[in-house]
Amino acid sequence: IMALLVAALLSVILAILVKTGTVAVWHIILLSLMGGIATSFNHPARQSIVPNLVKKEHLLNAISLDSASVQASRLIATPVAGFLIAYFGVVPVFGIRAVGALLSICWLMFVKIQLRPPVNNEAPWRNVIDGLKYVRGNILLFSLVPLYLIPMLIQNTSNNFLPIFARDILRIGVTGYGFLQAAPGLGALGSLIGLAILPFHHIKGSLLFVASGILGIALILFSFSLWTFFSLFLLVIIGGTITSFMTINTALIQNHVSDTMRGRVMSLREIANGLGPTGSLIFGAIAER
């Protein structure tokens, strides 16, 4: 709730700065930094609540539906935001974002869950060390948590290279670039709907390797593709496999972590999420050579 309050406040501040014409680059950088900090608290907390809302056998379905709602909102919100900006400017968009965060808080107030009280009141740095020791002592978690970094590196990097493919390789312009951006989201939404109806006992770690293999093949084919429709098809596959990998990975982690350590482990996974953009720096340097 506090993270959502911060998000709403930051949106209001940015809207005021834009409306008054006093916004500067350093304002955006500072507000983005603060928004990232709020998100780093929001995501682990949200992921830690989900297992307390559903039975264990429905965990994958719940995580899939949660991720599907995020993907659906991105698919819908992007064109809506573009329309609002074109006709009304950016200020109403920030206002709507603030209202959405406040509505989310109101909705959370109606969620009734039973959480175990914290076992201790140790310093934050001690909790981080305990979380690292816990993950290191569990071979499954020690494998799954770092693995989450792989799709994040690929997702951020591939998205940043799409303008080059649209302009120089496929030569489809700005409109075509919009379709390239939407294709992975469509694949992600489709895969999440499929996972949402799949029984949890069908989910095994071997599916991570299957998704990784399909993802690797699709990425190689996309890098050589000169046909727009084939490239769009491959991007749908790429989006679906990346999202499937991330969702299954999250479900397996949630299924094998204790309630007392859940927040710490999910915070470590969030670090992998935050390191995703470094892939753009690494692969961008490689591409320049």
Ordered by where they begin, the domains of the chain are 2-288 (1.20.1250.20)
Q: How confident is the model at residue 157 (pLDDT cuts 50, 70, 90)?
A: confident
Residue 200 has a pLDDT of 56
pLDDT computed for residue 120 by the predictor = 55
pLDDT tens digits along 256-275: 887 778 777 877 777 776 67
Contact (Cβ atoms closer than 8 angstroms) between residue 251 and residue 190: no
Mean pLDDT of 1-18: 89
Residue 232: pLDDT band (50, 70, 90) is very high
Q: How confident is the model at residue 227 (pLDDT cuts 50, 70, 90)?
A: very high
**Mean pLDDT, residues 8-37 taken together:** 88
Chain-centroid distance of CA 61 in Å reads 17
Looking at residue 287, its pLDDT comes to 63
What's the mean pLDDT in 198-204? 61
Per-position DSSP letters for the chain, written without gaps between them: -HHHHHHHHHHHHHHHHHHHT---HHHHHHHHHHHHHHHHHHHHHHHHHGGGTS-GGGHHHHHHHHHHHHHHHHHHHHHHHHHHHHHH-SHHHHHHHHHHHHHHHHHHTT-----PPPS----HHHHHHHHHHHHHH-HHHHHHHHHTHHHHHHHHHHHHHHHHIIIIIS--HHHHHHHHHHHHHHHHHHHHHHHHTS-GGG--THHHHHHHHHHHHHHHHHHH---HHHHHHHHHHHHHHHHHHHHHHHHHHHHTS-GGGHHHHHHHHHHHHHTTTHHHHHHHHHHH-
CB atoms within 10 A of CB 84: 17
Confidence of residue 233 (pLDDT cuts 50, 70, 90): very high
**Per-residue confidence (pLDDT) for residue 108, from 0 to 100:** 79
Q: Which amino acid belongs to residue 265?
A: V
pLDDT for position 116: 56
Model pTM score:
0.71
Are 266 and 253 within 8 A, CB to CB?
Answer: yes
- Of residues 118 and 199, more confidence is placed in 199
